[in-house]
Amino acid sequence: MPMRTYQHVIDSKAVKYTMSVIPDYWVVRDLTERDYGIDLMVEIFSKSGENKHGHPEYEATGWACYLQVKGTEKRLRKKRGFFEFTIEKKTLQYVERSPVPFLLVRVCTLEGNQQVFYCWLQRYIIEVLDKYEPDWRSAKPKTITVALPESNSLPANTKKIERIASRIKYIEEAAEFHELYHIMLPAFEQMIAGTLPPDLYDEFITDLKRISNLSTLLQLNDCQVAREDIIELIAFVTNIKNGTIHPVSIEDFPDPLMFNLDLLYNDHEMRMSLENMIAEHEGEVVF
């Protein structure tokens, strides 16, 4: 006969409370009947405008993450800015194989003292366990202690969850941009020299249009490249094609866009370092 333990009840309360502090325009799917400790899947939506009645409308971003929710009715005890929780190593070993960001969520369900904190487990493995306990996978203990940062609280810090959830889509689009831009680079010199065949202008503009639709990359990159910049470059290249502009050097192209595009081209290889720098600048940890 199936049994429902006291901890199961507390975890159910924790899931319900977690859902109550997540923005109501996000889509939250309950996966508590599944294996591997995944309780919730969160899909991020962002405001896209308003309807004719003045009510906000939201669009899908393609950003998602999994949540494992662990509850307690005891007050959470902080240690040097972190809340510790012991998790099974087999869960961590499953998590690190998942391409989807996986958050451990610790919830105090004590009435009047409800609190929610989270930790991005894949990045915690890289930044903490693999650095300071490199043999944790083969060590005898079946559990390991994870530290959840005090700054990772809900509902206060939903922006960080958005950044974490966006990571897969960002990397996917960064890789596409890197591939496209690598092929496009020689064409800039050919435009300056006047040797780019007319039919290749159309291909070049088509590739720029593809780049202009990489919405996550253009929204979240730290190289100051936005969709409007790509649209400006499309117009500039169209004018070269039509003979109304005749660049004589790369400096004649929109500035500082070309420099920023080169930064973005190299950003694909430096992403993890940039994430760490941004977190440090904001007084947080990356996980």
Two structure tokens written together for 56: 């906000």
Q: Measure the CA–CA gap between 55 and 262, rounded to whole angstroms.
A: 40
Do 128 and 270 lie in a common domain? no
144 with 194, same domain: the answer is: no
Single pTM value for the model: 0.86
Listed residues 165, 188, 223: the one ending a domain: 165
Clarify whether residues 56 and 29 are in a common domain.
yes
Q: What is the pLDDT of residue 3?
A: 65
Report if residue 132 sits inside a domain. yes
108 and 131 fall within a common domain: yes
Pair 154, 175 in one domain: no
Q: Are residues 219 and 147 in the same domain?
A: no
How far apart, in whole angstroms, are the C-alpha atoms of residue 31 and residue 102?
13
Predicted confidence band at 14 (pLDDT cuts at 50, 70, 90)? very high
Residue 174 in any domain: the answer is yes
Instruction: Say yes or no: 104 and 75 in one domain.
Output: yes
Structure tokens at 75: 């007050």
CA proximity to 264, closest of 210, 228, 213, 226: 226
- Asked whether residue 27 falls in the same domain as residue 139, the answer is yes
**How much is the pLDDT for 111?**
87
Single out the residue in 165, 182, 211 at which a domain terminates.
165
Domain of residue 268: give its range. Answer: 168-281
**pLDDT digits 0-9 by tens, 87-142:** 999 999 999 999 999 999 999 999 888 999 999 999 999 999 999 999 999 999 99
- Rounded Cα gap, residues 29 and 66, in angstroms: 10
In a domain, 192, yes or no: yes
Give per-residue pLDDT as tens, 145-196.
999 999 999 999 999 999 999 999 999 999 999 999 999 999 999 999 999 9
Question: In this model, does residue 229 exceed pLDDT 80?
Answer: yes
- Structural domain ending residue among the three candidates 112, 132, 165: 165
Could you tell me if residue 286 is inside a domain? no
By DSSP bridging, strand 56-72 and strand 102-108 are: parallel
| Among 20, 27, 22, CA closest to 63 | 27
Q: How many domains does the chain fold into?
A: 2
Same domain for 103 and 233, yes or no, is no
Residue 1 forms part of a structural domain: no
Q: β-pairing, 78-79 with 27-30?
A: unpaired
| Same domain membership, residue 25 and residue 147 | yes
Are 187 and 100 found together in one domain? Answer: no
Specify the CATH number for the domain of residue 84.
Answer: 3.40.1350
* 148 and 218 in a common domain: no
